[in-house]
Amino acid sequence: MTAYPNANSPVGLEIPASIAAGVTYDSGIIVSRGVAVSVWVKATQNLTLSIIQYADYAGLIPIAAATTQAITANTLTNKIVASGPIFSAFKITLANATGSVATVNNLCIVQ
């Protein structure tokens, strides 16, 4: 099991402190251990979390459509994606469709 952020977080993985109104945070491709990924999020505004898994390390071959989860403001929410086939990488996005800046209080990725 690996949890991010930590001292060994993937190069370039930056956890946002806030997400501006109308903006989507994109984690970029995160290399995976291939069985499941769990994402925990808490923010001050409603957000939409999306997780997409890829068959390849470059993130060019999606396994299926992205899995989404509504994040309610000020509520710690968890989304677990356990794929049937083993996946090599994944990407998360957090969309802020509200008219206000969302402060991200917690974002933890566990795989």
CATH number at residue 69: 2.60.120.260
Tell me if 12 is assigned to some domain: no
Asked if residue 39 is part of any domain, the answer here is: yes
Q: Which residue ranges in the chain fall short of pLDDT 50?
A: 1-3, 6-7, 11
As for how many domains the chain has, the answer is 1
* Residue 29 covered by a domain: yes
pLDDT of residue 3: 47
Reported pTM: 0.85
Q: Could you tell me if residue 78 is inside a domain?
A: yes
pLDDT at residue 8 in the model: 52
- The answer to whether 46 and 19 have CB atoms below 8 angstroms apart is no
Residue 9: the pLDDT is 53
Beta strands in the chain (DSSP E): 3-4, 18-19, 24-26, 30-31, 36-43, 47-54, 67-71, 77-82, 89-95, 102-110
Task: Note whether residue 3 is domain-resident.
Answer: no
Q: Is residue 10 part of a domain?
A: no
The parent domain of residue 79 ranges over 19-110
pLDDT in tens, 22-51: 999 999 998 887 778 889 899 999 999 999
Examine residue 5 and state whether it is found in any structural domain, yes or no: no
| 44-to-17, 28, 48, 66 alpha-carbon distances in Å | 11, 23, 13, 24
- Residue 100 within a domain: yes
